[in-house]
């Protein structure tokens, strides 16, 4: 159910930020992360919001900024703001502001990643996804009975060699990172950068809950799919979210006629 009062409230905001998670929110989850692209209906809604008056659209993702730009087909002249690596890497039309890992951080990251890769090599279907500030262990291609042991071995590796790294879980994935920044930080930055008077944030996974919990009374949080959530609106799937976003784009146009 898509509540009309949420649409009306956001339609009247002087400056609206629409901040959207990517995987599972704008794009269907698939086995090969770099093949992910926006769902066609999500793309229509996304483009409609970009045209809506007084509205800024942003993507907020756990992906590295580089990978996010590839899968979102984000061009250099885009008006869409990006927060990659949960907000540690940022892009605005004025330029990117990637926070580079230090030489020491890169050395530790590369050593742990190589060790994780040799563990993954012994498990059919397992692989390690490189990330700017660490790495992830996706398991969609690993048989369920093998996943527990794989995660336990890599948990042990990280706990021993880099106990300060942050561990996050998501849909069929565990991520380890040496930057402790969350999507709440990303949305706070975007809110300030766009001087937004209201925010719509939509996401489907545990890391999105950081942003959803941090929203204010003038904002609207949307959870896509099942799971415990701090969002005030839940939609079943990406097409239902897309329908809501199209209605919002239309309502913002009408509010300014
Ligand atoms: O914050 P997000 O944009 O939702 O990114 C979270 C993770 O997304 C990707 O993994 C998820 O999507 C994959 C492709 O559909 C899927 O194979 C995987 O099971 C999902 O967890 C990405 O690969 C991760 O790096 C992101 O952290």
Domain locations in the chain as residue ranges: 4-99+182-255, 103-177
Ligand 1 pocket residue status of 175, Cβ below 6 Å: yes
The response to whether residue 170 sits with its C-beta less than 6 Å from ligand 1 reads yes
Distance separating alpha carbons of residues 243 and 226, to the nearest angstrom: 18
Q: How far apart are CA 154 and CA 136, in angstroms?
A: 10
Pick the CATH number of 4-99+182-255 from 3.10.580.10, 3.40.50.10860, 3.40.50.1000, 3.40.80.10: 3.40.50.1000
Specify the ligand 1 atom closest to the Cα of 207.
Answer: 1
- ipTM of model: 0.97
Query: 23 phi and psi, to 5 degrees?
Result: -65, 125
Report the C-alpha gap between 255 and 32 in whole angstroms: 41
CB-ligand 1 contact for 206 (6 Å cutoff): no
Pick the CATH number of 103-177 from 3.30.70, 1.10.760, 2.60.40, 1.10.3470: 3.30.70
pLDDT value at position 4?
A: 80
| 63 CB within 6 A, ligand 1 | yes
- For 202, half-sphere exposure in the C-beta direction (CA atoms, 13 angstrom radius) is 29
24 lines ligand 1 (CB under 6 A): yes
What are the pLDDT digits (tens) for 11-69? 999 999 999 999 999 999 999 999 999 999 999 999 999 999 999 999 999 999 999 99
What residue owns the CA closest to ligand 1's atom 6? 62
Residue 88 beta carbon below 6 angstroms from any ligand 1 atom: no
> Which numbered atom of ligand 1 lies nearest the CA of 86?
1
- What mean pLDDT comes out for the span 211-215? 98
């Amino acid at each position: 159910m898509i509540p009309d009062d949420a649409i009306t409230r956001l339609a009247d905001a002087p400056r609206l930020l629409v901040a959207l998670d990517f995987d599972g929110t704008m794009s269907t989850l698939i086995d090969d992360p770099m093949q992910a692209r926006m769902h066609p209906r999500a793309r229509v809604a996304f483009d409609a919001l970009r045209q809506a008056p007084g509205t800024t659209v942003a993507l907020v993702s756990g992906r590295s900024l580089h990978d996010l730009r590839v899968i979102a087909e984000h061009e250099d002249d885009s008006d869409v703001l990006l927060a990659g690596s949960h907000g540690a890497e940022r892009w605005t039309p004025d330029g990117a502001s990637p926070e580079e890992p230090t030489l020491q951080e890169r050395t530790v990251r590369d050593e742990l990643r190589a060790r994780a890769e040799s563990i993954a090599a012994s498990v059919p279907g397992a692989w390690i996804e490189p990330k700017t500030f660490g790495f992830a262990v996706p398991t969609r291609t690993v048989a369920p009975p093998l996943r527990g042991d794989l995660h336990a071995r890599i948990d042990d590796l990280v706990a021993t060699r880099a106990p300060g790294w942050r561990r996050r879980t998501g849909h069929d994935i565990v991520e380890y990172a040496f930057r402790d920044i969350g999507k709440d930080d990303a949305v706070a930055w975007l809110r300030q950068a766009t001087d937004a008077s209201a925010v719509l944030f939509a996401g489907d996974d545990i890391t999105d809950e950081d942003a959803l919990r941090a929203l204010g009374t003038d904002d609207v949080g949307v959870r896509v799919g099942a799971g415990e959530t701090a969002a005030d609106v839940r939609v079943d799937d990406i097409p239902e979210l897309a329908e809501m976003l199209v209605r919002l784009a239309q309502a913002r146009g009408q509010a300014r006629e």
